[in-house]
Amino acid sequence: MRPESVSADPRLQAATALARVEAHGAHAARLLGGAVPAERELVLGVLRWQLTLDHLLARHLRRPLGDHDPAVRAVLRVGLYEALRMRTPVPVAVAEAVRVAKRLAPRAAGLVNAVLRRASGERWPDPADSGTPAGIRFSHPEWLVERWRRLLGDEAALAALASDQEPAGLYLLSAASHCDDLTAAGCRLQPHPFVAGVVAVTAGTEAAVAALQAGRAYAIDPTAVAVARLLPPAAGLTVDLAAAPGGKSLVLACERRHPRLLSADRNLGRTVMMRRNLAAVAPAPAVAAADATAPPLRPGSCAAVLVDAPCSGTGTLRRHPEIRWRLRESDLGGLAAAQRRIVESAAALLAPGGFLLYATCSLEPEENAGVLDGVALEAVPTGPLLPAGLPRRDLPSGGAVIPPGALGDGFTVHLLRRPA
């Protein structure tokens, strides 16, 4: 928990965090551990709407916004977000931004005052106005907008962009959460409409957060649960090769269809966290720190392998809004090369008749079908195995794209089988 005096100034705290995210590549979700709701809304809201805010600010700046210090950019964005999205009265939003500027970038206080007074009179772009580029209406980089239009079609792409702009819901895995205790503590829990065993917290979030911190509940994305369940049951050895923090392993372990489960990850810190997360299931899976490109297992020894690969995360922009500002289209090739190395070693582990489930929380073809191209395994049509009602687009490769939406993150999934 942060000291009271720090949490008591959410605007200062938010601008400081935003400058760190932009200048040092910090992860917003990590910086927000213990943040008060106002700081959380300012940081995540500004990151979600950054391009729209910048577009409006640019009209009132003499020098490009990019020429200013990260702290100045952060203060301007927080002030304008408050004025236009949180409906803080303009004089209050401007005065508070000037106060924060005096702490973080004193020489820019006059500029902050002048620019925000003018910019706060701007009209917020209408999401339905096709005369304004979709990138500005929905605050996504134009290259990503174009890709998603090609991949999903216009309507589904615009729905995905709009959905990224909403706060992510809190979902729990019922089997790993003390749901009766949560209800008694004032949480309202609602079953997910398509993914059994997942509940949305629709009220009483504070009690749910306390339970999460105490290890009495497990937060999970609903699509991730549906994805984990695609791995067919296996009596023999099952390995989850990129498993931390253990969400999909937890689903497999709770459902007891993979009694010999090994959950491995290359990152030691995350592996330790995973061991804690999985300890509550009986029997708990074996846990190991291991590199998926050189797993400590004999070739042909596994009945099932799960690869939930490290990826760009373009299906998770609701929860990790800054990814869209960091990722370059040219990064996809490097990610795909690393994913391909993992897939090749995963395929070598499979016994005849064994299944490989390859998933990423990325919608990008390079990281999915592109990685599997030429791998000597049979594709199993994956879309029909997903829960009915979950939006999806079936791919010629046999896999399926699940676009991000209000009911879960976006994923791409492929199920493959080594011929018997």
Ligand X SMILES: C[S@@+](CC[C@H](N)C(=O)[O-])C[C@H]1O[C@@H](n2cnc3c(N)ncnc32)[C@H](O)[C@@H]1O
For ligand X, the closer of residues 137 and 340 by Cβ is 340
| Dihedral sign of CA atoms 392, 384, 356, 150 in order | negative
Give strand pairing partners of 237. 260
Interface of this chain with ligand X, residues 337 to 356, rule: CB under 6 A: 342
Shortest Å, Cβ 44 to ligand X: 20
Shortest Å, Cβ 277 to ligand X: 8
178 binds ligand X (CB under 6 A): no
For ligand X, the closer of residues 115 and 244 by Cβ is 244
Count other C-beta atoms under 10 Å from residue 7's C-beta.
Answer: 15
Query: Burial level of 170, CB count in 10 A (0-12/13-18/19+)?
Result: middle
CA-CA distance, 16 to 380, in Å (whole number)? 48
Q: Which stretch binds ligand X (CB under 6 A): 10-18, 77-85, 134-142, 265-273?
A: 265-273
Scanning 214-260, the segments in alpha helix (DSSP H) are 222-228, 247-255
Tell me which of 149, 257, 266, 393 binds ligand X, using CB under 6 A. Answer: 266
For ligand X, the closer of residues 78 and 342 by Cβ is 342
Site string for ligand X, 377-396 (x = CB under 6 A): --------------------
What does residue 260 show for φ and ψ, rounded to 5 degrees?
Answer: -115, 75
Tell me which of 246, 315, 354, 398 binds ligand X, using CB under 6 A. Answer: 246
292 binds ligand X (CB under 6 A): yes
Site size for ligand X, by CB under 6 A?
19
Tell me which of 88, 113, 132, 267 binds ligand X, using CB under 6 A. Answer: 267
Tell me which of 242, 278, 302, 343 binds ligand X, using CB under 6 A. Answer: 242
CA-CA distance, 335 to 15, in Å (whole number)? 31
Shortest Å, Cβ 285 to ligand X: 12
CA 65, 52, 135 angle in degrees (round to 5)? 110
Tell me which of 79, 135, 245, 408 binds ligand X, using CB under 6 A. Answer: 245
255 binds ligand X (CB under 6 A): no
For ligand X, the closer of residues 45 and 247 by Cβ is 247
239 binds ligand X (CB under 6 A): no
Tell me which of 12, 116, 217, 243 binds ligand X, using CB under 6 A. Answer: 243
Q: Is the peptide bond before 283 cis (omega within 30 degrees of 0)?
A: yes
Shortest Å, Cβ 350 to ligand X: 17
Q: Which stretch binds ligand X (CB under 6 A): 3-11, 266-274, 328-336, 394-402?
A: 266-274
Query: Burial level of 415, CB count in 10 A (0-12/13-18/19+)?
Result: buried
Shortest Å, Cβ 265 to ligand X: 5
Q: Which stretch binds ligand X (CB under 6 A): 32-40, 57-65, 235-243, 383-391?
A: 235-243
CA-CA distance, 398 to 379, in Å (whole number)? 6
Interface of this chain with ligand X, residues 91 to 150, rule: CB under 6 A: none
**DSSP annotation string for 402-414:** E--BTTB--EEEE
Tokens of 264: 């491995």
Shortest Å, Cβ 194 to ligand X: 19
Tell me which of 224, 226, 231, 287 binds ligand X, using CB under 6 A. Answer: 224
3-class DSSP state of 89 = coil
CA-CA distance, 127 to 150, in Å (whole number)? 20
Q: Which stretch binds ligand X (CB under 6 A): 15-23, 144-152, 237-245, 253-261?
A: 237-245
Shortest Å, Cβ 163 to ligand X: 20
Cβ-proximal residues to 319 (8 Å cutoff; 6+ apart), any chain: 29, 168, 409
Shortest Å, Cβ 250 to ligand X: 8
Tell me which of 247, 403, 405, 408 binds ligand X, using CB under 6 A. Answer: 247
Query: Burial level of 349, CB count in 10 A (0-12/13-18/19+)?
Result: buried
CA-CA distance, 180 to 177, in Å (whole number)? 9
119 in Cβ contact with 59 (< 8 Å): yes
Query: What residue ranges bind ligand X (CB under 6 A)?
Result: 224, 241-248, 265-267, 270, 291-293, 308, 310, 342
